[in-house]
């Protein structure tokens, strides 16, 4: 099977590694890829935002499957164009990707599907905004309605900061604060059946001790020994399956990866957000743990054939630490040097780009060993002071999450 992977970050590097391990996958192509991906795939200098050029590339290569990594091309309708050209595509249509593209749309679908989430108000003017801030109270949760790369959300006790952020958005969702540990749980969907993956925890804040601005994610680990034992089945039953059924009923089936960001509150599981693609950096811990061949799994989803498929996982743990450029996320200074990557046993180094330079995943018998390996990997990569990384705490406590 010939696969074209769209994207060029650490997530796509991890997906490429998973595809490479699948004996059914004979060729991997990636657009645009990166220097790390180039070691295991043929890379093509085509931008992820050029739908026509991606379709043309798929045609020239005559691929059997296209896997779309990032949200931007999905929200721009790349999957629709690929399907129209006859390619099996893992990634939702433009209409289905609105679950990520619009927080307001996601709230509507959750409401219709009976999926539990934070109470919220969608506001477009100052009067509505102030009313919602006062109704929900502190900590204030203020979300730009559109795509913002995980950076359009402000959670603060300071009403002035909350108000200023809300006023800077055209449409803003203000919601109640969900108090509980956060997890990411992904489902692989063929539009009617959805298979839940194992959960991971992501570290959103830039600095140690849960401080600093929200980022795309500074690290992740899996499995979560502290999570309730039925969390996978519960999330599949209460969250993922109803969303897939609702999207199908609306005539916009969701084919691809449905990412549920969840808060495990005292009142039960609540959805914080949905994304329409694999998470970054969660993918960097999940792919190395997944035993089920990735290429065939995504092909079965893309061709609506997931019935009866069960996922198998390695018992090992994985911890990813992101190496970010100084100033990330607001003003990444991409100066500095990293040595040629040494091969470190039980460690994967995934190349990224932009503010998040690399993801280093350690694999171990348990999470502590995996984390030691990830940090040891970082210390073996020569770098100057232009980079930083955060401490990854391995427990459920929000206060100690350490991101």
Residues that bind ligand AMP (CB under 6 A): 118, 141, 143, 150, 153, 155, 175, 177-178, 182, 204, 214, 261, 272-273
Report if residue 12 touches ligand GLY, rule: CB under 6 A.
no
Output the residue with the shortest Cβ distance to ligand AMP. 273
Alpha helices in 290-396 (DSSP H): 294-302, 367-379
b/e map 39-58, b = 16+ CB within 10 Å: ebbebbebebebbeebbebb
7 binds ligand GLY (CB under 6 A): no
Partner whose footprint covers residue 153, from ligand AMP, ligand GLY, none (CB < 5 to 8 Å by kind): ligand AMP
Shortest distance, CB of residue 199 to ligand GLY, whole angstroms? Answer: 13
By rule CB under 6 A, what string of x and - marks binding of each residue 181-220 to ligand GLY?
---------------------x-------------xx---
What residues numbered 122-151 form the site for ligand GLY, per CB under 6 A?
Answer: 150
Q: Which is nearer to ligand AMP, 215 or 361 (CB)?
A: 215
**SS3 assignment, position 164:** helix
**Cα–Cα distance, 377 to 320 (Å, whole number):** 11
Helix pair 294-302, 10-20: axis angle to 10 deg: 100
For residue 279, the partner it binds in ligand AMP, ligand GLY, none, with Cβ less than 5 to 8 A by kind, is ligand GLY
Q: Are 283 and 350 in contact, with CB atoms under 8 Å apart? A: no
For ligand GLY, the binding residues in 264-283 under the rule CB under 6 A are 275, 279-280, 282
Three-class secondary structure of residue 325 per DSSP: strand
Does residue 22 bind ligand GLY (CB under 6 A)? no
Total residues binding ligand GLY (CB under 6 A): 8
How many angstroms separate the Cα of 294 from the Cα of each of 23, 26, 301? 10, 13, 11
Residue 275's binding partner out of ligand GLY, ligand AMP, none, with CB under 5 to 8 Å set by partner kind: ligand GLY
Q: How far is the CB of 197 from ligand AMP (least distance, A)?
A: 18
Instruction: Tell me which H or E stretch contains 184.
Output: strand 182-190
178 binds, among ligand GLY, ligand AMP, none (CB under 5 to 8 A by kind): ligand AMP
Instruction: Tell me which of ligand AMP, ligand GLY, none is bound by residue 217, counting a contact when its beta carbon lies within the kind-specific cut-off of 5 to 8 angstroms.
Output: ligand GLY
CA distance 383 to 325: 11
- Which residue lies nearer to ligand GLY by CB, 149 or 327? 149
Smallest gap from Cβ 365 to ligand GLY, in A, equals 25
- Please say whether the beta carbons of 304 and 359 come within 8 A: no
Complex with ligand AMP: residue 55 or 118, whichever CB lies closer: 118
Pick between residue 118 and residue 352 the one whose CB is nearest to ligand AMP: 118
- Judged by CB, which is closer to ligand GLY: 140, or 259? 259
Q: Which residue, 210 or 369, is less far from ligand AMP as judged by CB?
A: 210
To the nearest whole angstrom, how small is the minimum distance from the Cβ of residue 50 to ligand AMP? Answer: 26
> What token pair was written down for 94?
């433009």
Q: How far is the CB of 94 from ligand AMP (least distance, A)?
A: 20
Query: Which option in ligand AMP, ligand GLY, none does residue 280 bind, with CB closer than 5 to 8 A by kind?
Result: ligand GLY
Q: Phi first, then psi: what are they for 312, rounded to 5°?
A: -120, 140
Pick the closest to residue 90 from 240, 257, 236 (CA basis). Answer: 257
Q: H-type helices in 253-403, by residue range?
A: 282-289, 294-302, 367-379
Query: Would you say 12 and 33 are in contact if contact means Cβ atoms under 8 Å apart?
Result: yes
The residue written with tokens 């040891």 in the block is: 376
Q: How far is the CB of 379 from ligand GLY (least distance, A)?
A: 24
**For residue 342, how many C-alpha atoms fall within 13 Å in the half-sphere facing its CB?**
12
Of the pair 190, 280, the CB lying nearest ligand GLY is at 280
- Report the alpha-carbon distance of residue 362 to residue 344 in Å, rounded: 9
328, burial (CB in 10 Å: exposed 0-12, middle 13-18, buried 19+): buried
Residues that bind ligand GLY (CB under 6 A): 150, 202, 216-217, 275, 279-280, 282
């Amino acid at each position: 099977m010939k696969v074209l992977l769209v994207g060029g970050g650490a997530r796509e590097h991890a997906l490429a590694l998973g595809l490479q391990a699948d004996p059914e996958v004979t060729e991997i192509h990636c657009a645009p890829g990166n220097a790390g991906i180039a070691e295991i795939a043929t890379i093509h200098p085509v931008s992820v935002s050029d739908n026509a050029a991606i379709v043309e590339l798929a045609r020239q290569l005559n691929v059997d499957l296209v896997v779309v990594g990032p949200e931007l091309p999905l929200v721009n309708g790349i999957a629709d164009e690929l399907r129209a050209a006859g390619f099996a595509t893992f990634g939702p249509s433009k209409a289905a990707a609105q679950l990520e593209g619009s927080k307001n749309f996601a709230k509507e679908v959750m409401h219709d599907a009976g999926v539990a989430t934070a109470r919220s108000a969608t506001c477009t003017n100052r009067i509505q905004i102030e009313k919602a801030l006062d109704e929900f109270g502190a900590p204030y949760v203020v979300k730009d309605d559109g795509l913002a790369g995980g950076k359009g959300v402000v959670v603060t006790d300071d009403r002035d900061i909350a108000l200023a952020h809300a006023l800077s958005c055209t449409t803003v969702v203000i919601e109640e604060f969900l108090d509980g540990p956060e997890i990411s749980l992904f489902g692989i969907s063929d539009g009617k059946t959805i298979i839940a993956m194992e959960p991971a925890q992501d570290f959103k804040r830039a600095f140690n001790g849960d401080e600093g601005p929200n980022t795309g994610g500074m690290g992740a680990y899996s499995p979560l020994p502290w999570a309730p034992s039925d969390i996978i089945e519960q999330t599949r039953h209460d969250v993922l399956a109803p969303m897939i059924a609702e999207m199908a009923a609306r005539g916009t089936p969701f084919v691809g990866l449905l990412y549920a960001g969840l808060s495990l509150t005292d009142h039960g599981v609540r959805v914080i957000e949905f994304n329409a693609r694999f998470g970054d950096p969660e993918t960097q811990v999940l792919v190395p743990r997944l035993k089920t061949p990735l290429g065939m799994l995504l092909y079965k989803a893309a061709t609506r054939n997931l019935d009866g498929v069960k996922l198998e996982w390695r018992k090992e743990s994985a911890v990813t630490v992101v190496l970010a450029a100084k100033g990330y996320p607001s003003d990444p200074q991409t100066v500095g040097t990293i040595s040629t990557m040494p091969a470190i046993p039980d460690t994967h180094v995934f190349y990224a780009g932009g503010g998040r330079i690399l993801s280093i995943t350690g694999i171990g018998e348990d999470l502590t060993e995996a984390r030691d390996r990830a940090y040891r990997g970082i210390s073996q990569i020569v770098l100057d002071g232009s980079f930083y990384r955060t401490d990854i705490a391995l427990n459920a406590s929000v206060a100690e999450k350490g991101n």
